Structure formats: C-alpha cells, structure tokens
Chain A
C-alpha cells in the first residue's frame, strides 16, 4: 500500500538576502507518524516549519498538505486541520487560560467542550481561571500545546516544544506527544536539536544540517546505521595491522593506537589472537564497539556545529 504523506515538500527553499537558510528540502511526513525533525540550532528547522504553516514565504519550491498543493487561496482551509506551536507559546497574558482557548476555539470553529478536554489533557484544568501572565513557563508551554490541540487536528506541528521546561516537564510533554497518534489519530511533527528527545518520541526522522536535509527515514533505519566494530590494542599496532591485512581482513588503524576491524565470528577472533601472540605481539585489549546514534547524528550534522 502506498504511504500517504500529510506533508510533502519539494525543493523547498528559503533565502534571506544572500543567505540560504533552507536549501531544496524534500520533506515527507507519513500519516500517523511522529516525525522528528532534528538539527542543530540555526539549521533551518523553524524556518522550514514556518514555511509549511505559511508564516514565511518560500523563495522556491512547493508544499503539499493532506495531498493538496498549498496556495494562497486554500492555505487557511488546509491549515484548519493543523495545530501548531512554533518556537514559544502564543498567548494573551491579560486573559485567563480558558479565555485564551476560547479565542482560538471561536476561530477554529470547534465545539466549546474541546476547551475542557484539552485543558484536561495538558493538566491545566485547575489553572483555567488564572491569568496567563501568572503562569509558569511550563504552564504557558502546556497552554500552547492545548491551543494546538484544540479541534483535535489531523496534523500537529510542534517546534521545540520542550524548550524551557524542567526535566519532569520535558518527560510529561514527551509522554503526551507519544500518545497523540494512537489516542487521537494525530500525526505529529516535532522539531528538536536534541537527539535523545527525538529518539524517545519519533518513529520517523528528518535530519537537517545547514538548511539541507541530510537524512530522512524511519528511526529504525537510523539505528541500523549504528555500525559494530572490533577494536584491538597491542604494543605494536603497525605489525598487528600487517598481520590482519595478510589474513584478508579490512583493518584500519586509529589515532589512539587501536586497530579497528569489522565484526567477525568468535572462532576467527580466537585464531587471530593466537596468531598475534605467536608473533610475540602483546595483546592488551579486545573490545566490541558500536557507533552510537549520537555519533551518526554528529557525522551527519557536523561536529563543528553547536548542538
């Protein structure tokens, strides 16, 4: 069966002056997924999401939402089926949480009972009569999520929703986001600069670096990139390397004195150890190493970039 994408962009580009913030991005968000949009700060995540929401005008490229190409005429109609929380929550500080939601409920044209429901979901029902100016940052963030959830849209776009939250708030937000597809059938796009966050929430991942999409697939597929290797440490790495090459193994030296070789069977490892010892080489260590998700992320996004 063909995968249905709720968001599809083609060559989506945004240029400010001579700076190209987003460069020909082809985003594909499958229906029912939690799509983690990952990238270092300043990589172009927010700009991309803003273009999808029509808050920034693309320099080039096209956006398709729910299978319909977005244009000036249908933008609002298509966005009626989305909820969003971009960068920081939007609110009227002089109004109560409930009044804030009433404004959005009226604009969205959804039933009034949705206000009670979303307030319960984000656990703000006891603070509904409190002015938002008196809310903590975490409460404001939860109100932002409640606003986005009003009307239970088909698509939720959350840009760094855990920004400014304390660890328990982060975990609470994460748990809530994870339940959205199964409980309400909402497809979620969540951006973050934290790999661990996306790793715990998403099932699909897009990694953006300097405006370009460098990876897009399932999280499972990203995990398969995590390569296993065997690391050997001896007193004579060069001789060890020659010995391994003679045995037909693709070994490579490392700066820290280790010799890396691909994962091989246990019998072969035992044989290798025997050969090394017979050559009078002192074998200090044999380690099994795995390239972590973080290593993959760093190699994709560039180590020089701040995370």
Chain B
C-alpha cells in the first residue's frame, strides 16, 4: 500500500489526469456533435445505443491513451535512473506491481467518468428511461478488463524499454488495428479486439429507412471465447511484464 501511495505521489505534476481528461473531453465533444439532435426513435433507444457507440470509439481511441498512461508512469523512472535505487529498497516485482495497480486505478476512474459523462449527456438529450444497471455494470467490467489488458501490455513495454518511442508507436499501431478489426469481425482474439468483444449491444442499420435498431448481443461460443481471451491477455501481459522487468539488470 505504501509503495502504491508513492506511485500516485510520484506522478504529481506529470499531468496524467490532464491526459485522461483530454481523452474524455474528445469523446464527450464527439458525443455532443454526433448525438446533438436525436429523433424520437433515437431517444427511445438512447441508453442502449451508448453501449454500442462507446466500445467502438474506445477500440480506436484507447490504445494510444493506454500507451501514454503507461509511458507517463514509467518514463519518470527511466529519466531519473531511479530503478537502481528503488530496487535496493523493494523487489522489482513489487515495484512493477505498484505501477500496474496505479495505472489500473486511473483506468478504472477514467472509464467510470466516461460512463457518468455519457449517462448525463443522455439525460440532457432527453433519452427515454434509464440505463440498465446490470448491462451498464457488465459493460463497465468488460471495458475495464479489455483496456486493462492493453494497459498492461503497454506497461510491459514502457517499463522494459527506456526509449518510450517504442511503446508509443505500439499504442498507435494498436489504434489502427482496433479500427481494422471493426471491418473484419465484431470479435477478435487479439488484445486490441477486446473493446469489440465487450460490446454488449449490436446494431442493425436499415439503408432504405436509414434507421438504426439496437439490440442486446447474443454471444456465440466463439465470441464468448474471445471475451475469455481478454482475461487471458491480462494474465499473460502482467506476468510477462513482471518477469521481464524483474530479470532486467540496471
């Protein structure tokens, strides 16, 4: 706990919150623009449609954000050559664990704020009814899991490489992969497909009436396996990152 508390202390003045706020602001501005004048039909399905729109947006936008977050947490150590001092006071594994938990807490708060902002926006736009708590909670858990796997992958890279260009380029590539995956299938076993796997709502778009209909997704066994894969990635990235970091000599 002490080490975890210090992780938050260390990122003082690093504007990590600002980075996260910029991401949320960008998504919110998109929301304001794209959802600005909903029809009655859109208002009826509003809260359902958010469970479709947000993971799709996240699939493209979150990989670089996770890369930035992991990089902000790690480069303070690389720049100041602090590992050689910290590792005489704590085991490398414990230092890595604290970084991971710190980043995951920030990620959890960021997505909680995202949901809160869009739910408020929904009410402001006159969406009918209320968000379904069970589906919203499940969506949040899956969103958090899939983006945690991305964060842990980025953290492994950022902690291992002193040159932060490598993980940042990986984050940008992840964004492109996320975009491409959307055009292939709405599920993927790749880590960047996690946001698509966790989309609980699907959409039918009628090109003649130009009306979108949203409905809860019925997962096929393959799609469920893809969801399970998100958790496998979490374990793989965390373990691999921790082992690689622990074995690295300063």
Contact = CB atoms under 8 A, between A and B. Distances in A.
Contact of B88 (A53, A88, A91, A92): A53
B14 interface: yes
Contacts of A99: 9, 12
Interface string B1-26: 01101100110111000000000000
A103 B13 contact: no
A84 interface: yes
Given A50-B250, A56-B249, A103-B6, A94 B88 contact: no
Given A76-B91, A94-B76, A104 B12 contact: no
B81 A90 contact: yes
Contact of A103 (B10, B88, B91): B10
Contacts of B82: 90-92
Interface residues of B, number: 25
A211 to B, nearest CB: 17
Given A95-B13, A103-B9, A107-B6, A54 B87 contact: yes
A45 B227 CA distance: 52
B84 interface: yes
A93 interface: yes
A149 interface: no
B89 A107 contact: yes
Interface in A56-88: 56-57, 75-76, 79-80, 82, 84, 86-88
B85 to A, nearest CB: 4
B118 to A, nearest CB: 33
Interface string A87-119: 111111111000100111011100000000000
Contacts of B6: 103, 106-107
Contact of B9 (A55, A89, A102): A102
Contacts of A91: 80, 82
A104 B250 contact: no
A92 B10 contact: yes
Contacts of A79: 88-89
A147 interface: yes
Given A56-B249, A57-B249, A90-B80, A82 B88 contact: yes
B90 A55 contact: no
Contacts of A76: 88-91
A88 B81 contact: yes
A107 B76 CA distance: 17
B79 interface: yes
B83 to A, nearest CB: 8
Contact of A106 (B2, B83, B91): B2
Nearest to A132: B80
B56 to A, nearest CB: 36
A299 B89 CA distance: 39
Contacts of A82: 88
Nearest to A79: B88
A57 B246 CA distance: 11
B76 A56 contact: no
B12 A107 contact: no
Contacts of B80: 90-93, 132
A226 to B, nearest CB: 37
Contacts of B89: 76, 79-80, 104, 107-108
A55 B84 contact: yes
A239 to B, nearest CB: 63
Contact of B12 (A53, A95, A106): A95
Contacts of A75: 91
Contacts of A84: 84-85, 88
B9 to A, nearest CB: 7
Contacts of B76: 92, 94
Contacts of B249: 50, 55-57
Contact of B2 (A88, A89, A94, A107): A107
Given A91-B82, A94-B76, A106-B2, A54 B88 contact: yes
Contacts of A107: 2-3, 6, 86, 89-90
A86 B10 contact: no
Nearest to B82: A90
Contacts of A55: 84, 87-88, 249-250
A293 B81 CA distance: 35
A99 B9 CA distance: 9
Interface of B: 2-3, 5-6, 9-10, 12-14, 76, 79-91, 249-250
Given A57-B249, A106-B5, 9 more contacts: A55-B250, A84-B88, A90-B86, A92-B76, A92-B82, A102-B9, A106-B6, A108-B89, A132-B80
20 contacts: A53-B87, A55-B84, A55-B87, A56-B249, A76-B91, A79-B89, A86-B84, A86-B250, A87-B81, A88-B81, A89-B81, A90-B82, A90-B85, A91-B82, A94-B14, A95-B12, A102-B9, A106-B2, A107-B90, A147-B85
Interface of A: 50, 53-57, 75-76, 79-80, 82, 84, 86-95, 99, 102-104, 106-108, 132, 147
- Top 5 A-B residue pairs of the complex, sorted by shortest distance between their CB atoms: A90-B85, A90-B82, A107-B89, A55-B250, A91-B80
